[in-house]
Structure 1
């Protein structure tokens, strides 16, 4: 395959410019920035000012500036998948009986 085609198809994170792992919360981003946004979107960092007043976007910015950049680039909390994991599974009766008998294990 032509190397120039590989380079053209390679996407970069819009937050930190590292290789993107896919579309997260509405934009191409890496897993680290997606995880940061998921944790930070509803935190106190959104209302705090920049810690240094001169964050460089080429380097790792402070948390409030990184969150601001996520929002500026288009990450959205409306793309959160709430209740995605099954919190309670219904086990078949046979499994319930087996688990209740340690001598069977």
Structure 2
């Protein structure tokens, strides 16, 4: 099967609203959110929110609160089982 990426795809990342680059961890996301999700899961990162755990996550502010960004990744449907956890795979 061919899963080539269509350059004319007008979808936006459900996490931050940036242009999607393809299917990652169960849904269409941008490269930035794909990498963030992968690093968070692989490195078993735990974040805390300094606000009320309801920070706005968009293209310009996605790096301000990793806690809220990761929660949004999970909320929109990114799947943990699609990411390799550190030490589990060669």
The aligned length equals 75
Larger radius of gyration: 1
Structure number with higher relative contact order (C-alpha < 8 Å, ≥ 6 residues apart): 2
- Alignment partner of 1:15 is 2:15: yes
Which aligned segments of 4 or more residues in structure 1 are displaced greater than 6 angstroms? none
C-alpha displacement of 1:57: 3.1
Relative to total residues, which structure has the larger helix share, 1 or 2? 1
Gapped regions of structure 2 (runs ≥ 5) = 1-6
- Give the superposed CA RMSD: 2.2
- Alignment partner of 1:35 is 2:35: yes
Looking at structure 2, the residues matched to 18 and 75 of structure 1 have their Cα atoms a distance apart, in angstroms, of: 16
Using structure 2 for the length normalisation, give the TM-score.
0.69
Gapped regions of structure 1 (runs ≥ 5) = 1-5, 88-105
Using structure 1 for the length normalisation, give the TM-score.
0.60
Tell me what 1:66 maps to. Answer: 69
